[in-house]
Structure 1
Amino acid sequence: MVRKEAVVASVAAAGLAVTARVVMGMLRRSHSNISDGIQVRLKLSAVDILRLTDNIIATSTSVHDAVAAVPLDQVTYENVIAPLANLEAEEFALVQSCVFPALVSTSKEVRDASSEAEKRIDAYNVKCSMREDVYRVVKAFADKKEPLSPQAQRFVDRVIRDYERLGLNLSPDIRRKVEFLKTTIGELCIEFQQNMNEENRRLSFSESELAGLPADFIKELTRDSDGKLEVNLKYPHYFPIMERCQVGSTRKAVAIAYDQRCMDENVTILEKVVAMRNAMAQLLGYRNHAEYAIAIRMAKSPLKVKTFLENISSKMSPLAKKELAKLQAMKREEEGDEPFGFHDLRYYIRKAEELEFKVDYETVKQYFPLNVVTAGLLQIYQDLLGLKFKEVVKPTVWHPEVQQYAVTDTETGERMGYFYLDLHPRDGKYTHACVCSLQPGCVQKDGTRQLPVAAMLANFTKPSAEKPSLLGHAEVETYFHEFGHVMHHICSRASFAKFSGLRVEEDFVEAPSQMLENWCLDGASLKIMSGHYKDSKQPLPQDICEALMKKKRAHAGLLTKRQLLFGLFDQTIHMRDKVDTAAILKDLTPKVMEGIPMLEGTNFSASFGHMAGGYDAAYYGYLWSEVFSADMFETKFKNNVLSKAAGREYRDKVLAPGATKDASVILKEFLGREPTQEAFLRSKGL
């Protein structure tokens, strides 16, 4: 997942004025041991964050005031467009210095200050993006139709488009209403995410209620005042219980608690946000928020998305029904006539795969210690893309566990950028896996390149006294996928910050990383990323590699249906004026999941972070982009996943452009033709 971070304004986010230089100087004095070229500050105090936030807003305001003051008959690229482009390039990292700590800081005071900073920046962002005086000046320049480079023309077109999508070409009354709605939506989304980050519910079970869990897992649990074992709802506890606990009532209790997270606070927030999104879209001339949001993506229309999702669902139904019948039979044999529910899905899929493919997942994990996986993953990416990674010694980071790497081009020696790895859970940290853009790669006002900087956040099990952190195969896939986003950001060669790396259309952004998940299903790359934790020279045995490759299509029907449920729910709520999320889920779940009902008393939308993290009316993009990822892989890499020639072509034609071209153009240039669904359907066993 790509985390959508706040930026100061829809057209700009940076400072050219004296205030910005003062702020930068202050920060450099505070953090003198930073790596060369990195402007983002990672260890600010709560006071520093709020002070910097106010300075960012003041500086950006002065720049926009200067642009707005240009007489309409004197507009030029240099006095209108260049200041806005330079602005976005320079201040993006300062904004991230303020808003990123909400996801990673160990200090609640800092996290709260960061969330407050994001609220202030978002509120300013809305006001700034609604400035008719700036829009008028930019439009006057655009109307002159001066010859520009393709990227500069694209920048001007996007600035105009973004202004007009907020109604700046409409009446003042509409603009005021849009501004109010957009500000309120931003504040509510921050509150939604903050509630998720702070969630820390624990459940207690006896050892017999956790039967089936590995001894190492049980050993690491703490006991409550009654002597029972405590589990939380974060990934390192949730997934092992759902996959391995033999006690159905325990799985059900944990699943219900998981899908009840933040219900008391976030259901109300989400339903308010959905109503406001649709109200804003209608003010701007669209029928609903889905139509508004999808208009600037690859799909272009909700009808096309709906047709796509329903078409895939129809094709998957026979396969999903067959898979479900098999799992239901397994449950009857083990647990009697207890109805099959969502809490059974992961457990019986795991059992079925272990029986069919003769794979014990606990044994598989022993071959994937985190340090070995990391070393192998980095080697594969370096060889494939023609890069070199070097760990930074004594980096300035937000937590002692975080690692920093510098990236250079193998052939030229050019410094390409930096990335951070923050891989273990802790209280207050973002609870899923994502990549955050901390600094965009682009050309600065002096003609030099600003280096891109990215951070990958994950929640892999921490090492214990007896064993290192061991990853399940699915976690290896997650790692490989998220790191693909890191490389997309680092390898981008856009001239403008607006087009750097991950700022491609939202229904394409997952495709490059989804394609790279295939490396986790190939024997050659699996051996590079594996080594038994007791003897790292023993890679994953060939029979297990083959079993994991065969497993790729196992239960593809049900797992795809689960993605379809999320995508259809997202589309449904964003096509209505008012929603009852629980009622929609209760109706939609059994229809999509071939009769499996929603767990009673739950509402997973309360912790569906995508709805507050920039994926609203966009969740369909995971499956949409998977179609393209399958086509890219089968066309270029199927016969040799370690092909350096194909890897370099992928870097140059897919990653390097960033958002300088439409995704449809990028795909056609890489494939040499229009993409098709055939490879995707074959990958699902159809």
Structure 2
Amino acid sequence: MKARLKQKRGILAIAGATAGVAVLAKILLGHFKGGSNETIDGIHVRFNYSPSEILKQANEVIAMSKRVYDQVATVPLDEVSYERVIAPLVNLETEEFPLVQSCVFPRLVAVSKDVRDASAEAEMRIDAHNIKCSMREDVYRVVKAFADKDEPLGSEAQRYVDRLVRDFERLGLNLSKEKRNELEMLNTKIGEFCLLFHQNVNEENQLLYFSEAELAGVPTDFLKELKRSKDGKLEVSLKYHHYFPVMERCKIGATRKALGIAHDQRCIRENVPILQKVLSLRHTVAQILGYENHAEYETAVRMAKSPEKVKDFLEGISARMSVLARKELRRLREMKMEEEGSETFSMYDLRYYINKAEEAEFKVDFEQVKQYFPIEVVTQGLLKIYQDLLGLRFKEVHRPQVWHQEVQQYAVFDAETGERMGFFYLDLFPRSGKYAHTCVCSLQTGCVQSDGTRQLPVAALLANFTRPTREKPSLLNHGEVVRYFHEFGHVMHHICSRPSFAKFTGLRVEDDFVEAPSQMLENWCFESSALKLMSGYYKDTRLPIPNDICEALVRKRRSFAGILTKRQLLFGLYDQAIHTSPSVDTASILKKLHLEVMEGIPMAEGTNFGASFSHIVGGYDGSYYGYLWSEVFSADMFASKFKWNVLSRATGREYREKVLKPGACKDGFDLLEDFLEREPSEEAFLRSKGVL
């Protein structure tokens, strides 16, 4: 699965509970307009603040939020109305979000460490403030009084009120003052620890040094890009754009092991104690709120509804995959014995021998496949496919206001009506201090504003693809093409959703459904017609990828599906295990699960990838199973609707209308049943893995 940064809960869920009135929010917006920061084309988020300006804006957002919160809290309980209680909540959520993102987004993208540090500090202040606001019992009492009036509302407004009450009560607002104070303290600590965990991972900069002989098998073009130490050794970081090429191509087992162990030891000293504290605090919070554990608390508002259902799902899929995974591992072990004379097989051998087996089976050097995927051609083809499929038109914005000169900005229009629907940014190459993985960030929500006009959604896609050189453009391997296509699917989900309320924009669907739309769209990267549109030989881009390579890539998708699915199951089961117990030793749990799930492959001594497993600290805690859960639904959608014509505009438009447009205005199961016209099934997923 592809890493994606869903906006932190401190911004999305808690900011959604921030109350206020539209006029005061407009005063706040007006304060930041003018000069070089004047609003352009309805985009309110800013990228050019200095450290002091970031902190100033954060403080003013906090001050204004507190002021409007106080005002809503004073509404007499016998005078509550939609206009006085609910509308202010809706309006401020809409207008505050881009202002908050102006403070916190630079932490992921700014070149200046001073700006990143100020952004991290701003995020900590805003998160702490939001926790305090979310624990305001006086505001909850007013909202609950309105909800209890049972005033007739439209479906989306009623859903908003129901969710608002639910979210307040999931924070303990219906408990005693003593319990609320305790929860506020605990949640503040959790937020601080989580932010520190992420900072440690993001700032991690360990380097390893290898001779050229120790990197035998790694492509020459990749080696040319590496820096050299004074003694002539090549410098390899633990970032993905270095890690994966070495683990997939290096013939030297000792090198793979050294790099792999270093990768799985990242931030152990700093982050294992932090993770242990977070887990303990989460468990305490869950029990105060009446849940048995944190996993039960998290799944209660997701499609799965309970940890028991999640456990049955994960263990059921694992059992179905075991026979296939064991067969695949026997083959890989035989290959290692033949090449290295060793029967001991570790996780650090997995990528290398899978890659070697696939090249032998498919008679294709998949490293050379990169020559057909220069990033400019991939981007052009990707944009064309999405435009045609979803009935959209993209137009690049010239001289955009961006956070780095390499960033591109596009406006999105409806192809039929010409209506402008939103904007997106592409930030595709690594640089010092930038978020090291691939993600999509919502910068501005698409919804109806207080004056009745629609605020445009804005999203940013952050990636870390190999930089172009004087000799060659940036060339993507096929896995990177899939990742790019997947992440852009999240951009489209954000842009195409059309709710009235910011709370129900596309990326706010249940966490165990949010990946399904993009996972479904990954299928296009395994269809010849789509691959032809996204490819072109880098020396002559008029030459698309050959048919035999297309066929190999299509067949490769099912290659080693058993053991690779097992790897994903390991992550999900680990997440559930650490979030269903009051006290855990994360290393011991991983060690036990590794042997069980990975069919006897041990975890390397002294490692603990939980120390850098950002997902379970930053939004997927208790719900990491959602990747596989939603993949089941994505397989069903594709097999049922698109398999026989992936470029069907009619089906694509139906998908946009029934799955993307509603956003979170409907539950995930309802979206699926509307599109499939029946209940979803696991059959297509199991067939896609070669089990059925």
How many aligned residue pairs are there?
686
Which runs of no fewer than 5 residues in structure 2 stay unpaired? none
Is 1:421–1:455's contact at 8 Å kept on the other side of the alignment? yes
Q: Which amino acid aligns with 1:195?
A: N
Of the three residues 4, 7, 14, the one matched with 2:11 is: 7
Of the three residues 359, 371, 377, the one matched with 1:372 is: 377
C-alpha separation between the residues in 1 aligned to 2:20 and 2:428?
33
Residue 80 of structure 1, CA deviation = 0.3
The residue aligned with 1:595 is 600
C-alpha separation between the residues in 2 aligned to 1:59 and 1:471?
46
C-alpha separation between the residues in 2 aligned to 1:28 and 1:542?
54
The residue aligned with 2:348 is 343
> Residue 361 of structure 1: SS of its match in structure 2?
coil
Q: Which amino acid aligns with 2:608?
A: N
Residue 22 of structure 1, CA deviation = 5.0
Which runs of no fewer than 5 residues in structure 1 stay unpaired? none
The residue aligned with 1:530 is 535
> Residue 436 of structure 2: SS of its match in structure 1?
coil
Structure 1: which 4+ aligned runs deviate by more than 4 Å? Answer: 13-23
The residue aligned with 1:252 is 257
Provide Cα deviations, 1:163-196, integer angstroms capped at 9, x if missing partner.
0001111111111111111111011111111111
TM-score (norm. length: structure 2): 0.98
> Residue 31 of structure 1: SS of its match in structure 2?
helix
The residue aligned with 2:227 is 222
Residue 286 of structure 1, CA deviation = 0.5
C-alpha separation between the residues in 1 aligned to 2:38 and 2:203?
31
The residue aligned with 1:571 is 576
Provide Cα deviations, 1:404-434, integer angstroms capped at 9, x if missing partner.
1000000011110000111111111111111
Is 1:40–1:96's contact at 8 Å kept on the other side of the alignment? yes
Residue 362 of structure 1, CA deviation = 1.8
> Residue 502 of structure 1: SS of its match in structure 2?
helix
C-alpha separation between the residues in 2 aligned to 1:181 and 1:289?
13
Provide Cα deviations, 1:491-513, integer angstroms capped at 9, x if missing partner.
00000000011000000000000
Residue 27 of structure 1, CA deviation = 3.1
C-alpha separation between the residues in 2 aligned to 1:33 and 1:535?
43
Provide Cα deviations, 1:597-634, integer angstroms capped at 9, x if missing partner.
11221110111010121000111000000000000000
Q: Which amino acid aligns with 1:475?
A: E
Residue 17 of structure 1, CA deviation = 6.7
Of the three residues 71, 85, 90, the one matched with 1:85 is: 90
Of the three residues 452, 457, 460, the one matched with 1:447 is: 452
The residue aligned with 2:122 is 117
The residue aligned with 2:589 is 584
C-alpha separation between the residues in 2 aligned to 1:667 and 1:633?
12
The residue aligned with 1:235 is 240
Of the three residues 493, 496, 505, the one matched with 1:491 is: 496
C-alpha separation between the residues in 1 aligned to 2:466 and 2:265?
23
For residues 468-507 of structure 1, the aligned pairs below 5 Å read 468-507=473-512
Q: Which amino acid aligns with 1:177?
A: E
The residue aligned with 2:29 is 24
Of the three residues 508, 512, 515, the one matched with 2:517 is: 512
Residue 28 of structure 1, CA deviation = 2.6
Provide Cα deviations, 1:38-76, integer angstroms capped at 9, x if missing partner.
011111111111100011111111111111101011101
Q: Which amino acid aligns with 2:647?
A: L
> Residue 165 of structure 2: SS of its match in structure 1?
helix
Is 1:200–1:233's contact at 8 Å kept on the other side of the alignment? yes
Residue 11 of structure 1, CA deviation = 3.5
Is 1:106–1:427's contact at 8 Å kept on the other side of the alignment? yes
Provide Cα deviations, 1:227-269, integer angstroms capped at 9, x if missing partner.
2111111112111100000000000000011111111111111
Of the three residues 311, 314, 331, the one matched with 1:326 is: 331
Is 2:497–2:505's contact at 8 Å kept on the other side of the alignment? yes
Is 2:18–2:134's contact at 8 Å kept on the other side of the alignment? no
Provide Cα deviations, 1:2-39, integer angstroms capped at 9, x if missing partner.
42234283534476477654543343324346530101
C-alpha separation between the residues in 2 aligned to 1:595 and 1:92?
47
Is 2:22–2:91's contact at 8 Å kept on the other side of the alignment? no
Q: Which amino acid aligns with 2:329?
A: L
Provide Cα deviations, 1:447-476, integer angstroms capped at 9, x if missing partner.
000000001111111111100000010000
Q: Which amino acid aligns with 2:73?
A: A
Residue 158 of structure 1, CA deviation = 0.4
Is 2:535–2:544's contact at 8 Å kept on the other side of the alignment? yes
> Does the alignment pair 1:381 with 2:424?
no
The 1:12/1:166 distance shift into structure 2, 3 A limit, reads closer
> Residue 437 of structure 1: SS of its match in structure 2?
strand
Residue 392 of structure 1, CA deviation = 0.6
C-alpha separation between the residues in 2 aligned to 1:681 and 1:70?
55
Residue 92 of structure 1, CA deviation = 0.5
Is 1:564–1:620's contact at 8 Å kept on the other side of the alignment? yes
C-alpha separation between the residues in 1 aligned to 2:171 and 2:487?
32
Q: Which amino acid aligns with 2:154?
A: S
For residues 624-635 of structure 1, the aligned pairs below 5 Å read 624-635=629-640
C-alpha separation between the residues in 2 aligned to 1:628 and 1:322?
27
The residue aligned with 2:411 is 406
Of the three residues 553, 557, 566, the one matched with 1:548 is: 553
Of the three residues 49, 56, 63, the one matched with 2:54 is: 49
Q: CA RMSD in A?
A: 1.2
Is 1:442–1:497's contact at 8 Å kept on the other side of the alignment? yes
> Residue 34 of structure 2: SS of its match in structure 1?
helix
The residue aligned with 1:436 is 441
C-alpha separation between the residues in 2 aligned to 1:579 and 1:427?
35
C-alpha separation between the residues in 2 aligned to 1:198 and 1:174?
36
Q: Which amino acid aligns with 1:190?
A: L
> Residue 632 of structure 1: SS of its match in structure 2?
helix
The residue aligned with 2:200 is 195
C-alpha separation between the residues in 1 aligned to 2:18 and 2:115?
22
Is 1:408–1:417's contact at 8 Å kept on the other side of the alignment? yes
Is 1:202–1:233's contact at 8 Å kept on the other side of the alignment? yes
C-alpha separation between the residues in 1 aligned to 2:468 and 2:28?
40
Is 2:29–2:95's contact at 8 Å kept on the other side of the alignment? no
Moved more, 373-382 or 259-268: 259-268
> Does the alignment pair 1:180 with 2:182?
no
* Percent of aligned positions that are identical: 68
The 1:56/1:485 distance shift into structure 2, 3 A limit, reads same
Is 1:435–1:456's contact at 8 Å kept on the other side of the alignment? yes
C-alpha separation between the residues in 2 aligned to 1:338 and 1:673?
48
The residue aligned with 1:101 is 106
> Does the alignment pair 1:359 with 2:364?
yes
For residues 251-270 of structure 1, the aligned pairs below 5 Å read 251-270=256-275
Provide Cα deviations, 1:182-211, integer angstroms capped at 9, x if missing partner.
111011111111111111111001110000
C-alpha separation between the residues in 2 aligned to 1:4 and 1:198?
19
Is 1:366–1:533's contact at 8 Å kept on the other side of the alignment? yes
Is 1:13–1:89's contact at 8 Å kept on the other side of the alignment? no
Of the three residues 272, 276, 281, the one matched with 1:276 is: 281
TM-score (norm. length: structure 1): 0.99
> Does the alignment pair 1:622 with 2:648?
no
